[in-house]
Each structure stands twice: as structure tokens, then as C-alpha cells.
Amino acid sequence: MSASLFRTVLARHGALAAKRSLAGNSFVRGKATLPDLKYDYGALEPYISARIMELHHSKHHQTYVNGLNSALEATAEAEAKGDFTKAASLAPLLNFHGGGHLNHTLFWENLAPASREGGGEPDGALKKAIEADFGSFETFRKQMNAALTGIQGSGWAWLAKDKDSGNLAIVTRANQDPVTGQLVPLMGIDAWEHAYYLQYENRKAEYFEAIWNVINWKTVAQRFEKA
């Protein structure tokens, strides 16, 4: 993925849109920055521990931000010199670090404390769409957990909306590959070990069950309506 195309993807999914609070802080003068959270690190307990949230956000996400900035800078330098072979060789780094930044930015917005807007089930148009495409919310949840369990190694499972048909689908992506093309990511769950291991160790199925208690359906519904 080229640097210019990746910037387009970031913009389309909100990472460059100043009108959105979290995403609006993720780029400053063309450089990626770590977005602030709307809740404290300990706010998602007992479902996700404060220590996991602190490391996941301040260390892991920051690494993707740093890597994206380095890749963008190196690509710009190569293109300025006319070294397009060098620029093309940096595409995997743009995809990995840029995808990591984009995926995590969406992920943080996905979540909310159970005492506030986290958990429960969606309502309104999103609920109707889930019931139409999956039969019921419970069926959708089970299919999402099955998709997460089926990921070999590291990756993500997403609820996505097809821009043409309007239908919803569950898709998985390896590593930090972003959801692009005709699909708009609405809600994602991180299946990388750094998202759960300190708390759940090898019991990742427990993490996949627990995280539903802190899903922010209000944010997911807003994405659904705008997609």
C-alpha cells in the first residue's frame, strides 16, 4: 500500500477527521500521534485489566505510531529521490504499522466502561441489521467469537458493512491488516496476545467472552449510520 493511498484509508475511516474527538488527535501536521482515551486505564475492569490497557495503549499502540511515522518519512524521502524501488519496498511497513495505528484507534473507540455505555446489545437500525443478516444478536455474537477463535497466530475479527449492498459481515484480518475496499469496519476485537495474555494467559476464549461487556454499541451504531 502506497503512502498516499494509506493516508486516504486513514482519512476515510476517521483517523484524519478532526471532527471526531479521538481520531482527530491521531495526526498532527501530517504525523501520526497516539490518540487519547475517553476513559481511564482501569475503567474497563474487571473485563480488561488496567495493566493490560496501559501497556496496550501506551506501549504497543505507540510502537505502531512510531513505525508508521518512520515508514512515511522514509517513503517520502525515497520518492523525492526518485527511488521508487525503495519506496515500494516500504509498503509492508506502511501496511503493518499503519494498520496497527488505524485498527487500534478504532478499537479504543469501540470500548466503554460497563458502568457507562459498555455492554448490552445494540438497538435501533443497527440491531435490525444484525438480526436481518445473522438471525439474532446472540447468533452474531457466537459467530464473532468463533471467528476470533479460528484466527491462527495474531489478527482481528471485525463486524463490517458492505458499502454497496449495505449488508453486514464478519471478517478476519491477519496481523495488522486493515479492513479496506468495499467494507467499512464497524467494530473490531483484537486477538493479539498483548490484548489479553497478562490477565487471561492461554484462556483467550474467556477474553473473547468478557470483552462483550465493554463494547460501546453507541459508537458502533454511529459508524453503521455513516457508512
pTM > 0.85: yes
Measured CA to CA in angstroms, residue 13 lies from 7, 78, 175, 183 at distances of 10, 27, 19, 11
Residue 92: pLDDT over 50:
yes
Give all strands of the β-sheet with 183-190 in edge-to-edge order. 168-174, 155-162, 183-190
Task: Tell me the CA end-to-end span of the chain in Å, nearest whole number.
Answer: 22
**H or E segment at 138?**
helix 137-149
Q: What phi, psi does 96 have (nearest 5°)?
A: -70, -55
Give the pLDDT of residue 25.
Answer: 41
Give the pLDDT of residue 26.
Answer: 52
At 186-198, the pLDDT tens digits run: 999 999 999 999 9
Instruction: Give residue 7's pLDDT band: very low, low, confident or very high (50, 70, 90).
Output: low
At 156-214, the pLDDT tens digits run: 999 999 999 999 999 999 999 999 999 999 999 999 999 999 999 999 999 999 999 99
Give the pLDDT of residue 13.
Answer: 43
For each of the domains in the chain, give its residue range(s) and CATH number, in order of start.
46-226 (3.55.40.20)
User: Is 190 annotated as belonging to a binding site?
Assistant: yes
User: Is 56 annotated as belonging to a binding site?
Assistant: yes
Instruction: Give residue 30's pLDDT band: very low, low, confident or very high (50, 70, 90).
Output: confident
Residue 90: pLDDT over 60:
yes
Instruction: Give residue 17's pLDDT band: very low, low, confident or very high (50, 70, 90).
Output: very low
Mean pLDDT of 114-132: 97
Task: Give the C-alpha separation, 144 to 128, whole Å.
Answer: 17
C-alpha cell at 46: 474487571
Q: What phi, psi does 179 have (nearest 5°)?
A: -85, 120
